[in-house]
Copies of this chain bind each other. A is one copy, B any other.
Amino acid sequence: MAASKIDGKWFREIDDAWKGYSISLEIEEVLYHEKSDFQDILVFKSTTFGNVLVLDGVYQCTERDEFSYQEMIAHLPLNSHPNPTKVLVVGGGDGGVVREVLKYPSVEQVVLCEIDQKVIDVSKKYLPDMASCLSDPRVLVHVGDGVKYMEENTQSFDVIITDAPDPIGAAKGLYTKDYYEGLKRALKPKGIISCQGETLWFDLDFIKKILTYCKGVFPVVAYASGYTPTYAGGHMGFFLCSNDSSINLKEPIRNYSNKELDDMSMKYYSPHVHRACFNVLPYFARKALTEVLDT
């Protein structure tokens, strides 16, 4: 775990994954700080980013910029699928991804598999814009280990979103080839997966490793980029794969108008962003990932 700490009026995120670099947020008030069975959970009210959820010393989301991550990890796969009806979200106990999934009228059921009940509880209390959707009748919350869930699961899904923290501690198993094979088994035809994909500035070798797993398992593999200022480096990537080679992940199926985007309360995602986010990868990163990316 990190040496991240509360330093006077600031929370500093310090982690070996981005050694020598740290993003701090100013604290107005610490709202919650406990160790659960799985991790250190901190929630504080910041002076300018709203409430902030920190797991094992690493930012998970802030009220001010969480939409950037939640919308990208959800709408890239959902708007590449012709008719998503059943969706699985692994991790994401804060509810932000589920909130986005429920924006698709075709979705009949969302299963959320979160390992840590405490994350769900504190999110309901301190991040209500994200977690309140968890009481929607279409949502089935399963508290348990995502890796085990995928091993034992017998259901199949149109879209599976892995909203995992960084590959340390509790989330390590969500970044293995076995896990990706489990995802493939759990997909319906025309199925799409989307997974948290780390940052190009600090994790390029790791990104390449995961994309290599993906390439070994899925016929269609892509890597998208988003901007999130409170994630180290300001960049957040997404691994996207489909088990159907006719699926084009890079072209949105529904070409939402501004009116439709507004009606869906969209703040980050748009068809413009969807088409561009695969191509904006800096050349050094594109080159490093050439062998494992569909370009």
Contact = CB atoms under 8 A, between A and B. Distances in A.
Interface of A: 10, 12, 19-26, 46-49, 65, 68, 199-201, 225, 227-235, 258, 261, 266-270, 272-273, 275-284, 286-287
Contact of A287 (B26, B258, B281): B258
Contacts of A234: 227-229, 231, 233-235
B283 A261 contact: yes
Nearest to A228: B234
Given A235-B234, A273-B283, A20 B25 contact: yes
A199 B10 CA distance: 22
A68 B225 CA distance: 15
How many copies make up the complex? Answer: 2
Contact of A22 (B23, B268, B284): B23
A47 B23 contact: no
B21 A49 contact: yes
Given A201-B229, A229-B233, A234-B235, A266 B280 contact: no
Contact of A24 (B22, B276, B282): B22
A162 to B, nearest CB: 23
Contacts of A258: 287
A22 B47 contact: no
Contact of A20 (B47, B228, B276): B47
Contact of A49 (B20, B68, B275, B277): B20
A232 B276 CA distance: 22
Contact of A283 (B270, B281, B286, B287): B270
A229 B225 CA distance: 14
Contact of A279 (B20, B23, B268, B273): B273
Nearest to A9: B20
| 5 closest residue pairs by CB, A with B | A234-B234, A20-B48, A276-B279, A229-B233, A20-B26
Given A19-B48, A233-B234, A273-B282, 11 more contacts: A20-B46, A20-B48, A21-B23, A228-B234, A229-B234, A266-B283, A269-B283, A272-B279, A276-B277, A277-B280, A280-B280
A24 B227 CA distance: 19
Nearest to A262: B287
A24 B21 contact: yes
